Every structure is written in structure tokens, then in C-alpha cells.
Structure 1
Amino acid sequence: MHLHKINKVLICILLTYTVQYLMLPFPDLSAEEGVIFENPYKKTEKQTDVTQFTIYFTKKSHLIPKQDQVRLQSVADFLYRNRNFEILISAHSVEGKTNKENVLISEKRSLEVERFLLIHSVEPNQIRRLFYGNSKSPNLTKEHEALNRRVEILLQPIG
């Protein structure tokens, strides 16, 4: 009799889970891999190109977001197999109180990307870093601040 009650409970739980799963309000709505929703001021787009892309950071942070770590891993793999290519890392920031603080934040972002690549077997001579602070930030309004917290990645042949 005790086993019979357990079976009824398990069947009830399974049916409840199945019904909830099948009765989603939007059955044709599905997530797309690579679509970025973090930045409300930029048109969302798939970023599948590993030769040129942008990494966006949270305010005053230099930590690489997880979805961008996957893309950087692809870049590291490419650079490891193609020693005749280099990466240009251009870091930007406008959230500091002074120009010096902005340069420091952008330098930390470029160093974090460089550190990630070095850990993943990219040669130091394949990495070029530039950090601009806010000197090359096209969006100077508070509404577009998220666009300025970025590192631009460009892969190119060495030479």
C-alpha cells in the first residue's frame, strides 16, 4: 500500500510538470544564441564574427562577461593556430570622475582581455593593447553610457 501511494505522487508530479511545460503562454517564442540584450541603446544583433567584435562591460568593471569569454576562446584558438595574426584590443571608458580614472578603467579592461588570451596560449607578440579612456567615445550622453563601456576586438595579419 505504501508503494502504491508513492507511485501516485510521482505520477501526479510528472503530469503537473508536463502540463506546465506544454502550456507555456508563448509556444513559438524561443531564445536565439548570440543575441545581445544587455545594451538597450544599440540595435540587438547576432555577433558571430570573431575577427571584429565589441565586448561591453558593466559600470566600472573590467570583468569579461561570460558570453564574451566564449567568443574570446574562439579568438584564442584561432590565434594559436595562426601565429601570423595579431589581435588589436582597443578599450574605452567614460564612467570615471576624471580623465585619468577613465584611462585607468580602460587599461584594466584591455589588461583583462590580454590576460585571458595569454592564459589560453596566445603569444605576447600577437597582442596589441590600446586604452583610450573617454577620448574616443562617440556617445557622451548619460543615456548612451553603456555604449562607451567597451573593448573593441580586431584580428588582423601581422605586418
Structure 2
Amino acid sequence: MPEENENNKIILSEEDRQALESASTTKEQLTYLYQNFEPVLNRDDTLKGVDVDENGIRDDIDDFINALIIPENERGYYQQSSRHLQTVFDHDYAGGTEINTEIALANAMAYGSVINCLIQLNLDWDDATGSRRMIDALILNTKLRSQHYAYYNKALDGSGIEGAEPTGDDCE
């Protein structure tokens, strides 16, 4: 049972640590964290939420990623992926203009480095992509954020995206 806390942070008990260590995948760890710490998720009426340390990752999402018992390079992959998704909130795609499509396409192409990082680290594809999708769902946890992401996807509709060649240094 998670310890109660007053600053809306994930504070792991010894029981929590043991549960995370016994999970066979990162996705299982995330599932455990969500089931036990879901109330810490930011649900304010802003697109970006709170990022006090200004590292490009919403603080509550950072807490979920930092609570994972995984190697630091793998943690870096999830941080990089989360940072990338947050950049979708930097532009308003609702107008459906050509510039919206160009900006969305540039953002989508930048995601290639996240995929290349996953490959570079030789992470289990199914677990890493499933875990990333779960973190994405935690980020898009309000109607406003989901709607904004839908406009972003609509701006990409019909666009072909060519993956970037790995550089061997794609992880941030």
C-alpha cells in the first residue's frame, strides 16, 4: 500500500519497491505505479501541466518514470520520448493550415531519434513501445490534451514520414 503524501509525489514504500523489482517488464511496473499512484497525475486545465524543473517533462510524468526500477539509459529513453510528446503542445494545430501540417510533420520526423534510441539501446521492442504508449496515455490524460493531440494527428493525416537514419548517438 503506498504511503500517503501531501505534496502529490510518488513515495515508494518497501512493499512498492519489492513489487516493482518483481515485475518482469517495464510495462508491468508502469501498470503497478498507475494502479497505486494514479491520483498524483496532473489534471489541470493547461496543455503542458507543471514542469517546475523545466526539463521538458511534466513533473508528474517525471515522477512515474523516475519511480521505475530500470537502468538509467532505459529511463533516458522514456524521458526523451516524453519530452518529445510534450513538444506537440508547443503549437496550435486546430486551424488545419498548411503551416500546421508542416510543423506537425517536422515534429513527427524528429520522433525518429526516439525510435533510433530504442534500437540503439537494444530494448525489448514490445515492452518499450507498450510502456511508451502507456506513458503517452498518462501525458494525454485530459480532454484538452487529448483533443490537442487529435488536432496534431489530423494535421499529419496523409503525410508520409521517412524514418531518420540512426546516428549511433540518438539518445539524449
TM-score above 0.5: no
Mark the structure with the bigger radius of gyration.
1
TM-score, normalising length: structure 1: 0.29
Structure with greater helix share of residues: 2
Structure with greater strand share of residues: 1
TM-score, normalising length: structure 2: 0.27
